[in-house]
Amino acid sequence: MGSISHVITTNPTLPHLPFTRSTALRFSCFNPRLLRLPPTRVAGKVGVFAEVSSPSRTTSGIDFSDPDWKTKFQQDWEARFRLPHLTDIFPDAPPIPSTFCLKMRTSIDRDFPGHYSSYEEWHGYINNNDRVLLKTIYYSSPTSAGAECIDPDCTWVEQWVHRAGPREKIYYKPEEVKAAIITCGGLCPGLNDVIRQIVITLEIYGVKNIVGIPFGYRGFSDKELTEVPLSRKVVQNIHLSGGSLLGVSRGGPAVTDIVDSLEERGINMLFVLGGNGTHAGANAIHHECCKRRLKVSVIGVPKTIDNDILLMDKTFGFDTAVEEAQRAINSAYIEAHSAYHGIGVVKLMGRSSGFIAMQASLSSGQVDICLIPEVPFNFHGPHGVLSHLKFLLETKGSAVVCVAEGAGQNLLQKTNATDASGNVVLGDIGVYIQQEIKKYFKEVGIHADVKYIDPTYMIRAIRANASDGILCTVLGQNAVHGAFAGYSGITVGLCNTHYAYFPIPEVISHPRLVDPNSRMWHRCLTSTGQPDFI
């Protein structure tokens, strides 16, 4: 796992206040942290949410000479991770017994709608005070591999997040719910699995009015795109194929226009599947709903094949991507191993984080050089990649290079172009490596047979494997549980093998990165045997 030390430290702009209701409200619907994001992230086009670049937190605001600094840090942490709730706007909103039954196949009796009485007390619901521990390793020194320290002494500080799951009391009557699902950004294995499980769980609660908004946020404004009615019958087998039943797109209308559309359509539960940018859009929608005093729950489900969402063990699609990448790496190895002085180059996804390239290299055992965005490298020179490739050809006769798409961008000419989501259009590092390898070995008079494989779209389009299928199923279920529990402006993820809810601002400040000092990166280096290319 990469380091999360850049997000576990306190925000120096936050006063050290005891956790009270007034403090909590500051971190719910009208969160000042949102106001510190660049203005274009919270207003205007949703498409500009793609790269949230809020400054990293530092520990400069903590007075470590204060004997109570640890307690104050934990109070600030609890306030920051407090989940926004409908009762922040509607204090008198009455909770009702959950219609999600833990013991019966059907959650409702024949008198439904309007009948919510329970005839027995069921155990198995999640208490609102249940927590999941964010960190489980005590680092005795900041120099320990992968150390995540708050103070110079690496003091152990407990950091808790809210446990996900069904609550005994809910804040929506199922017969009054109109739920909508959207999928944004690029394709990712598991989208259909999450859609399917959201629909199934909503129906178990008793919701009858479920729709899909086609082609992401664009579907809220494009008059040619109509809602897709969803039911268990419609989604029953969609997880057997890749892609998204609802389609995907980047960009979209202004936040105010989206909320106008929500009001017109009567939608009061919105499930948003997407990455950092999509979540920033969801958070802005949540705040606009709060501003208008609308009873709407906006729930995110992190969708990023790159696995670059903060605080989470992994995101759906990642395991499938690593598994499918083995096919490309194995093909590159066979091509390289079967040729005289063969070199196979494989480019994998990873704009700003190299988790797929690292894990795929580690699991394949066939990669000699792994290049990721977090670790700078020289391509030329006596300690560069080309020099090591020459050594590999001389000693073992072939080589395989695995590179993340965002690696080595400093070597390429910048275009300053952006896509519809506001993402900077990257140069093609794979083609650059292929061309530079051919050029170098021609200059030194050594034969080299270079094969280049880019499996990006093949990987994105496949169905989820078993591991991701389970993850998607539980994420979809917990997204619905969170909405019925009255939360909004939150996302759900896997944290230390447990499912938890997070306020959206806490996971979108910047992408999660591979820590070059982490044990996992060290393991990858041990597997490849590559030197430092600096």
Annotated binding site for substrate: 304-306, 349-351, 405, 457-460
For residue 391, the Cα-to-chain-centroid distance in whole angstroms is: 39
Q: What's the rounded Cα separation, in Å, for the pair 333 and 161? A: 43
Of 206, 208, 179, 202, the closest CA to residue 298 belongs to 179
| Environment class of 138 (CB within 10 Å of its CB; exposed 0-12, middle 13-18, buried 19+) | exposed
Q: Which two tokens stand for residue 35?
A: 């106001």
CB-based contacts of 254, cutoff 8 Å, min separation 6: 43, 44, 45, 46
Instruction: Cite the annotated binding site for ATP by residue number.
Output: 186, 250-251, 275-278
Q: Which two tokens stand for residue 53?
A: 């670049």
Which residues, listed in sequence order, are joined to residue 342 by a DSSP beta bridge? 449
Q: Which residues are annotated as catalytic?
A: 306
Residue pointed to by tokens 């989206």? 258
Residue pointed to by tokens 């494997």? 465
3-state SS of 269-313? EEEEEECHHHHHHHHHHHHHHHHCCCCCEEEEEEECCCCCCCCCC
Instruction: Cite the annotated binding site by residue number.
Output: 186, 250-251, 275-278, 304-306, 349-351, 405, 457-460
Please give the single-letter amino acid code of residue 431. Answer: V
Q: What's the rounded Cα separation, in Å, for the pair 106 and 108? A: 6
